[in-house]
Every structure is written in C-alpha cells, then in structure tokens.
Structure 1
Amino acid sequence: MTTLSLVEDDVKLFGKKSRSDDQPVIEAPAPVEEEKPISVVVVDDDDDLRGILRIALESRGFDILGDTSDAMAALQVVRDGQPDIILLDLAMPEVTGLEVLPLLLEQSPRSKIVICSAISATHMTEAALDAGADAYIIKGVSAKTLIGHLRRVAHSGPVRPVRPYPLGRDYVEPPTPTAG
C-alpha cells in the first residue's frame, strides 16, 4: 500500500521518501467491494405464489430478473438474464419442470436450479436431482427458511448442497439392499 506523507516536500511520484517518525501518514482506504445481489428467476404456474416469492425475495435483497408461469417462456428469461438461481416448480401445464430443467441448464450453465414443489415423493426428488437440480424444497417452508437456503445454494460454489425437506439435514441416498 502506498503511503502519502502530509509534508508536501516529502511526496514523490511512484514511491515515497523516507520521513521522520513525527510526520503523520495518510493511507488510502482499501476499496470496499459491494456484494452483488443474488439474481433469481421464478418459474411457477401459480400466480399468487410467484407474487409472494417475488415480494419475499426482493424485500431481502434478491434481484428478481423475471418470473413466468410457463416453462418454455422461462428459457428466454433465463437465456437473457443468466440468473444465479432458477426457482422451478415441477408441476406445470404442458411442459413440466423436470422436462425443462436440462434445457434451462443449457441456456445458463452457471445457474443453480432449486426445485420448489408441493410434490414430496422421494422418486420426484431423485428424478430432479438426477436431471441436474441443485436442491429440492417442499412448498410451505417459511420465507426465512427458503431465503436462508437460497443464499447457501447461491454461495456454495462448485460443491452444491442438496437439502430436500426437511432442510436441516443433507440428502443421503438410501442404502442399496444387498442380496444374500
């Protein structure tokens, strides 16, 4: 870090002269890097739920790049916005969340996909994770729990935690039965 003496004669370009210990030194403050808000696209056919999610996320500092009720329309929003997180419902008319999930990853490979669904069946969780989802959340969790989970997923880097409901435990595949 370059120091700048308050004594005008002591200042040199590209360096500094030696100074006596009684001369005060002013140091330039380190630049403060602002944390970029987590960007989210919400894909759910329930208009009311999308509205609630938008309000909850925006009020906690998330950047909502878009929301859509149609899985195929989500492809355009995701392609244009390249969000950090795609919050995706599974049960939608015409094209389901599971069907569009791989296409969303093609459009925005760095996005993390969090399934937010009322379907809690183990086979659906496994199918979503196999298709490339980073996490699975059952609708009905509190906004605080959802927000905390989305932040963990967004900041997880290449190691992607998977925490289906209940969110307090890691997902572990059930042991495979052995013959004999």
Structure 2
Amino acid sequence: MARILIVDDAKFMRVTLSNILQKGDHEIVGEAENGTQAIQLFEELSPDLVTMDITMPEMNGLDALKAIKNKAPQAKIIMCSAMGQQKMVVEAIEAGAKDFIVKPFEESRVLEAINRVLG
C-alpha cells in the first residue's frame, strides 16, 4: 500500500482519483489544489507518490514538479493531463516525472501506471 498525495485544482478530479486509488488499496495522505500547496504538503507528508495535474492556478504542475524534484530527487511523480497537452507532458518527463495519465481517468490505466512507478 502506497501513501499518495493527489494534486489537482478540480475537487471532482481529486475525488475521482482518490476513489480509484483507494480501490487499488492505496492510502490518500493529502490533497492539494495548486503547485504551491503541493510542495508544502510534499515536505510535510513525504508521500510515496504524487499525482500532479499540469494545469493549475497559482503554480502549475510543471513548476511544482521541478521544485519537488529539486528538493527530493527521489520523488515519484505521475503527471495528469488533459488531451492535447503532449508538449507539457514531454517537458514533465524530461524534468523527472515518472509517467503520465490522461483525463478522463480510466481506472485500469491509472492503477497500472501507479503500480509500475512504485514497482
């Protein structure tokens, strides 16, 4: 069972992801709605894994990813993106993201990505 931090500005998306992950026997240790909160919670909670939305207010997922990887190079982060954000996904992978999942979330794909990254 992994301890997971969910980062997404849409409450609906956090709830959806949370339900999928809990079905997969993972524990949700925290939720953040922007990059600034994500960095803060990452430091407080030291989760095993972070799911990070790309497009968010205040600080986007790409900047938050870079900030977290800077402080904790071992951090496991999976990006969540809507269709048509390929360029940002490539940038995120180059910046150290381990994988990405596309919205709308497909349960089997989400769990597969999580388990592969935790592997």
- TM-score normalized by structure 1? 0.61
Q: Find runs of 4+ consecutive structure 1 residues off by over 4 angstroms.
A: none
Cα–Cα, structure 1 residues 92 and 113, in superposed 2: closer, same or farther, change >3 Å? same
Higher helix share: 2
Name stretches of at least 5 consecutive residues in structure 1 with no aligned partner.
1-36, 156-180
One-letter amino acid of the counterpart of residue 126, structure 1: V
Name stretches of at least 5 consecutive residues in structure 2 with no aligned partner.
none
Instruction: State how far apart, in whole Å, the 1-side matches of 2:52 and 2:70 are.
Output: 15
- Pick the aligned partner of 2:65 from 88, 98, 101: 101
What is the RMSD computed on CA atoms of the aligned residues? 1.5
**CA deviation after TM superposition for structure 1 residue 106, in Å:** 3.1
- Pick the aligned partner of 1:144 from 81, 84, 108: 108
| Conserved? CA contact 1:78–1:108, under 8 Å | no
| Conserved? CA contact 1:115–1:137, under 8 Å | yes
Instruction: State how far apart, in whole Å, the 2-side matches of 1:121 and 1:49 are.
Output: 17
SS of residue in 2 equivalent to 1:86: strand
Structure showing greater Rg: 1
Identity of aligned residues (%): 29
| Conserved? CA contact 2:34–2:60, under 8 Å | no
| Conserved? CA contact 1:120–1:138, under 8 Å | no
Higher relative contact order (CA 8 A, sep 6+): 2
| Conserved? CA contact 1:38–1:62, under 8 Å | yes
**CA deviation after TM superposition for structure 1 residue 143, in Å:** 0.9
How many residues align? The count is 119
